[in-house]
Amino acid sequence: MLLYTSPAVAATYQFNLTFIPEFMTWNDAGAPITLFRVETQEDGVLIDLNAAGLAAVNGYMKNGAQAANQLQIRCADGHIEGKNVTVTVTIAAAAAVAFFGSSDNIGLSAYQYKNAAILALNPTTFEKFTAIFVPAMAAATDRAEVEFLDGHKQTFAVADLIAISSMYQQVQGIIVNNVLSYIKKVTFVCAAATPAYIFSTYIKGQ
């Protein structure tokens, strides 16, 4: 259903909801979104993504093709009522953008997207995540060293990560996908400082 339509003016806007939808979808043709933030009075900031982050996570776990310029963000595992939600968006051009929200079941857990930094030539380790998106990894030099719960260890090149991402979604990306919860930890080794976007199930207090 339609949640909000922005004015046709480049600016930052906010709109409020009393629930978290499973999906939020919009088409930003001609009006790129450079900030998308979802926060609740009860939980704080759940999603905080810039344009690069939105591009990296767009279409995660979606098997079908998307329309041009369409973005779909997974916000929860279903419809979560009883939340005081504020959505903040920055629109970079003078065009109206319509934001839609939908769910196909009752939800229990919200999802959280966090920004992280991988330091240059400094191995950076992450644990307890559902997926990590690192779109700026350099194909020639960078790698992800993954330790699985069964003790297996594997080094993945960028080409490996891109190829494996297509097992889960139509849009390929540089993703370490732990949706099966079989990864203990991953260590990224990058030649240059590299942004990462961490997707996880939100559990209050962690």
Tell me which residue has tokens 């041009």. Answer: 68
Predicted local distance difference test score (pLDDT) of residue 68:
84
| Partner residues linked to 68 by β-bridges | none
Start and end residues for every CATH 2.60.120.730 domain found in the chain: 2-109
Predicted local distance difference test score (pLDDT) of residue 59:
87
Count of Cβ atoms closer than 10 Å to residue 43 Cβ: 17
Taking CA 20 as the corner, what is the angle to CA 18 and CA 21, rounded to the nearest 5 degrees?
120
Predicted local distance difference test score (pLDDT) of residue 203:
60
153-157: strand order across its sheet: 124-127, 183-189, 143-148, 153-157
186, 145 contact by CB (below 8 A): yes
Q: What is the pLDDT along the chain (206 residues), one digit of tens a residue?
A: 999 999 999 999 999 999 999 999 999 887 899 999 999 999 999 999 999 999 999 989 888 877 888 999 999 999 999 999 999 999 999 999 999 999 999 999 999 999 999 999 999 999 999 999 999 999 999 999 999 999 999 999 999 999 999 998 888 899 999 999 999 999 999 999 999 999 998 766 44
pTM for the structure as a whole: 0.91
| Partner residues linked to 40 by β-bridges | 44, 85
**For the domain bounded by 2-109, which CATH number is listed?**
2.60.120.730
